[in-house]
């Protein structure tokens, strides 16, 4: 008999070799019908895999990320099986589950080219295979046997060659066999609704110098209704695409001459960014941050000292050619080494700490062209970066203060649904990280305790830490329920050691400070992209680039309209004028599409009475107001919004 510990810490005894499915059935027949995967001692398994020793387990259903992972991972194999039948000789790269669905990178057999027109055919074949209810059977084979089995597929041979010697797991369903760790569903029956979504090109292993494969994206569900709801959501997401709205609102653009992944901010977008920066700067002043500015380049030796160069290499560090012999400068890919040097510029006392340096610092990282995506994946971006240098007795309080800043920002921008992810070291792969085990344990414990004291809803992810320290990432759901990583806090004992940072303690001896890395927005580019999609371009009144637009009903009233605009600007209301020679109905439609909150229509009656006729975005006519009355109305709304944020 073995002891199985359930999530509520109750313990049950079962015969050795029992499966997750059998445990679920013992707990509840209904649970057995819904369970999709199982975590056994922190490892995700198939529910049909025998458990042979005492274990802590957690059973996962569709509602759980782990359940969806098994469902979509199994669906990726189903897609591959369909492609194998439709395009004999196809070679297979990788086919992972992703946040929404799955993909498979393939080289179609016999020179075939898969196009968008082929997607319904692939979808139909997947449904046909799913209805066969074929089991996903796991087996383990020696490495040499695995190499022999896949000798026709160079991609699988390469993947197998990188694995350690020993047994390697295969999964087979129907006529398809794949190299895979799992987990998978027991069989294909639960896959009821399928949509093959799109195609893309993808270089093998993300290397532009290697062959470009065909990436096929798909998504599946246990019920057709779920798929229909998802497709409606997908359509809404396309309407909210920040690239589309950014163009419509004239916020940013890209230029081939400037270069891929290097956004150009238009005046309206620049003003939006400035307001976000000003907002955060005011918060930082309250919390004792001091502004610093660092250059866009640094000597290679700086990043060798920090350890970043060894970890990220040429993918992140791009050289700057200089005429002087022996000089080697690089585009700055992060701000923290520069801030370490600012700290080190003069002696520090224990009385000086904590020291908080903040910078909106622009950094550069070379992303492959196929991975660039609007503002969410760029090559040049500005981080709302700050680094706190503190004593050990200050660490937890400083960490909690950063959490408070992030909460303040989320409240201001109406991000209500989020989970705090505690990202720790991978205990089985510690060579990925720098620093002593003792310091890592201190840093990890500080984060866990701070989160507990702030009563955060947290999840722990092992292996997601930065190479120099553990971190707390905030995973935020937007208006469509999509998850984004916004806001990060990292505890770092290691960079202070590598840069030999010191302060003189009460004992008159030198001590090492602890460093907290902090970026509530993450990057201005990505944050604006998420904000656009979250709000569909309808920004809060305090933030929006234009709070009102003045619309004269004819050219006859243009002078009065200009007077209205000027008076509003003098009252600190952001107003623009639309004096085009167009019918008023056209002007209203055009400006509503620009998501301007208030439309002010002026004609003969309004000009005679010193008034404006007010229309609110999405709500229509709001009656007439005096110009100064409308200005007070807007400013009072903004003041109330900001006051509610402060409460």
Asked whether the CA dihedral 533, 539, 540, 542 is positive or negative, the reply is positive
What pLDDT does 315 receive? 65
Tens of pLDDT along 327-351?
888 889 899 999 999 999 999 999 9
- pLDDT level of residue 31 (50, 70, 90 thresholds): very high
The reported pLDDT for the residue numbered 314 is 66
Confidence of residue 286 (pLDDT cuts 50, 70, 90): very high
Nearest to 610 by CA among 598, 625, 599, 623: 625
The CATH topology of domain 66-239 is 3.30.980
Q: Is 572 left (phi over 0), alpha (psi -120 to 50) or beta?
A: left
Poorest-confidence range of 238-242, 323-327, 396-400, 591-595?
A: 323-327
Residues 472 and 489: beta-carbon distance below 8 Å? yes
Q: Tokens 């057999």, residue? A: 109
Q: What is the CATH number of domain 2-59?
A: 3.10.20.30
Give helix then strand counts, H and E, for the chain.
20, 35
- Do 596 and 546 meet the contact criterion of CB atoms below 8 Å apart? yes
Crossing angle of helices 267-286 and 395-412, rounded to 10°? 140
* Residue that has been written with the tokens 């080697």 in this structure: 328
Indicate the pLDDT class of residue 542, thresholds 50, 70 and 90: very high
Give the count of beta carbons closer than 10 Å to the beta carbon of residue 241. 14
Instruction: Give the span between the Cα atoms of 248 and 238, in whole angstroms.
Output: 14
Q: For 133-168, what is each residue's pLDDT tens digit? A: 999 999 999 999 999 999 999 999 999 998 887 889
Asked if pLDDT for residue 431 goes beyond 80, the answer is: no
For CA atoms 174, 176, 177, 179, the dihedral sign is: negative
548-646 homologous superfamily: Anticodon-binding domain (3.40.50.800)
Residue 63 pLDDT: 93
Region 592-609: mean pLDDT is 94
Per-position DSSP letters for 475-526, written without gaps between them? EEE-TTS-EEEEEEEEEESHHHHHTT--EE-TTSSEEPPEEEEEESSS-HHH
Q: Decide if 626 contacts 607 (C-beta within 8 A).
A: no
Instruction: Parse the chain into domains and list their residue ranges.
Output: 2-59, 66-239, 264-535, 548-646
This prediction has a pTM of 0.83
Average pLDDT over residues 517-544: 93
| pLDDT above 70 (res 644) | yes
Distance CA 280, CA 406 (A): 10
pLDDT at 493: 87
CB 89 within 8 A of CB 205: no
Using the predicted structure, report yes or no on whether residue 285 has a pLDDT greater than 90: yes
Q: Name every residue whose Cβ is closer than 8 Å to that of residue 566 and which is 6 or more positions away in sequence.
A: none
Q: If DSSP codes are grouped into helix, strand and coil, which group holds residue 107?
A: strand
The band of 321, judged by pLDDT with boundaries at 50, 70 and 90, is confident
Residue range 209-233: mean pLDDT, rounded: 95
Between the alpha carbon of residue 257 and those of residues 254, 260, 262, 263, the distances in Å are 9, 8, 10, 12
Q: What residues act catalytically?
A: 336, 365, 383, 385, 387, 471, 517
What pLDDT band is residue 365 in, cutting at 50, 70 and 90? Answer: confident
Q: Are 170 and 181 in contact (CB under 8 A)?
A: no
Give the C-alpha separation, 585 to 56, whole Å: 66
Secondary structure element (H or E) that encloses residue 538, with its range:
none
> What's the average model confidence in pLDDT over 194-201?
94
The CA distance from 382 to 265, in Å, is: 12
List, as residue ranges, the binding site for Zn(2+): 336, 387, 517
CATH class of segment(s) 264-535: alpha beta
Above 70 in pLDDT, residue 589? yes
Express each pLDDT in 62-110 by its tens digit: 999 999 999 999 999 999 999 999 999 999 999 999 989 999 999 999 8
The overall average pLDDT reported for the chain is 92
Instruction: Give 290's strand partners.
Output: 357
Sheet (strand 483-492) strand order: 290-291, 355-364, 380-390, 514-519, 483-492, 471-477, 417-424, 458-462
* DSSP collapsed to 3 states, 397-433: HHHHHHHHHHHHHHHHCCCCEEEEEEEECCCCCHHHC
Residue 27 CB neighbour total at 10 angstroms:
14
CA dist list (Å): 62 to 27, 29, 70, 222, 357:
18, 16, 9, 8, 44
Mean pLDDT of 360-366: 91
Instruction: Spell out the residues 6+ positions from residue 144 whose beta carbon is closer than 8 angstroms to its own.
Output: none
- pLDDT given at position 177: 95
Contact 481, 418 (CB under 8 A): no
443 pLDDT higher than 90: no
* C-alpha pair distances (Å), 528 with each of 299, 462, 525, 557: 31, 29, 5, 37
């Amino acid at each position: 008999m073995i002891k199985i510990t359930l999530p509520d810490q109750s313990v049950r005894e079962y015969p050795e070799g029992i499966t997750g499915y059998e445990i679920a059935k013992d707990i509840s027949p209904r649970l057995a019908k819904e369970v999709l995967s199982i975590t056994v001692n922190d490892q995700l398994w198939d529910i049909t895999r025998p458990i042979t020793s005492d274990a802590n387990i957690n059973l996962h259903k569709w509602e759980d990320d782990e359940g969806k992972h098994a469902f979509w991972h199994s669906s990726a194999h189903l897609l591959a099986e369909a492609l194998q039948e439709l395009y004999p000789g196809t070679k297979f790269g990788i086919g992972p589950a992703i946040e929404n669905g799955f993909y498979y990178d393939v080289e179609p057999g016999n020179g075939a080219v898969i196009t968008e027109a082929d997607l319904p055919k692939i979808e139909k074949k997947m449904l046909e295979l799913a209805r066969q209810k074929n089991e996903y059977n796991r087996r383990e084979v020696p490495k040499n046997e695995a190499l022999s089995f896949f000798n026709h597929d160079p991609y699988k041979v390469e993947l197998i060659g990188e694995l350690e010697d020993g047994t390697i797991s295969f999964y087979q369903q129907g006529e398809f066999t794949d190299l895979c760790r799992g987990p998978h569903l027991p069989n294909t029956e639960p896959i009821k609704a399928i949509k093959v979504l799109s195609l893309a090109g993808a270089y093998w292993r993300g290397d532009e110098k290697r062959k470009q494969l065909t990436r096929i994206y798909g998504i599946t569900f246990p019920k057709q209704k779920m798929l229909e709801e998802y497709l409606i959501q997908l359509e809404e997401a396309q309407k909210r695409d920040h690239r589309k709205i950014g163009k419509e609102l004239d916020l940013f653009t890209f230029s081939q001459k400037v270069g891929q992944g290097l956004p150009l901010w238009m005046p309206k977008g620049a003003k939006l960014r400035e307001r976000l920066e000003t907002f955060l700067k005011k918060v930082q002043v309250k919390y004792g941050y001091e502004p610093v500015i660092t250059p866009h380049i640094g000597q290679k030796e700086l990043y060798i000292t920090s350890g970043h160069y060894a970890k990220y290499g040429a993918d992140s560090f791009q050289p700057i050619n200089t005429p002087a012999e022996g000089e080697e400068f690089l585009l700055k890919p992060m701000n923290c080494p520069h801030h370490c040097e600012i700290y080190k510029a003069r002696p520090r006392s224990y009385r000086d700490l904590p020291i908080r340096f903040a910078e909106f610092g622009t950094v550069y990282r070379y992303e492959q062209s196929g991975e660039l995506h609007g503002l969410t994946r760029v090559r040049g971006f500005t981080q709302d970066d700050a680094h706190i240098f503190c004593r050990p007795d200050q660490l937890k309080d400083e960490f909690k203060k950063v959490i408070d800043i992030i909460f303040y920002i989320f409240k201001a921008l109406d991000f209500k649904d989020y989970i705090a992810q505690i990202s720790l070291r991978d205990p089985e792969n510690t060579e990925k990280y720098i620093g002593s085990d003792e310091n890592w344990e201190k840093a990890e414990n500080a984060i866990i305790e701070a989160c507990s004291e702030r009563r955060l809803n947290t999840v722990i992810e092992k292996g997601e830490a930065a190479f120099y320290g553990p971190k707390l990432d905030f995973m935020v759901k937007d208006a469509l329920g999509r998850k984004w990583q916004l806001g990060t806090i990292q505890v770092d004992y290691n960079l202070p050691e590598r840069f030999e940072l010191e302060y003189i303690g009460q004992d008159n001896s030198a001590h090492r400070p602890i460093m907290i890395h902090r970026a509530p927005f993450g990057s201005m580019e990505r944050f604006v992209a998420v904000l656009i999609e979250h709000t569909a371009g309808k920004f809060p009144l305090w933030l929006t680039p234009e709070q009102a637009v003045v619309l004269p009903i004819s050219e006859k009233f243009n002078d009065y309209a200009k007077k209205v605009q000027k008076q509003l600007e003098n009252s600190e209301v952001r107003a623009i004028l639309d004096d085009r020679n167009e019918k008023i109905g056209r002007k209203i439609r055009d400006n509503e599409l620009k998501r301007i909150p208030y439309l002010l229509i002026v004609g003969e009656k309004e000009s005679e009475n010193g008034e404006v006729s007010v229309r609110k975005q999405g709500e229509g006519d709001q009656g007439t107001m005096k110009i100064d009355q409308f200005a007070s109305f807007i400013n009072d709304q903004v003041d109330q919004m900001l006051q509610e944020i402060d409460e």
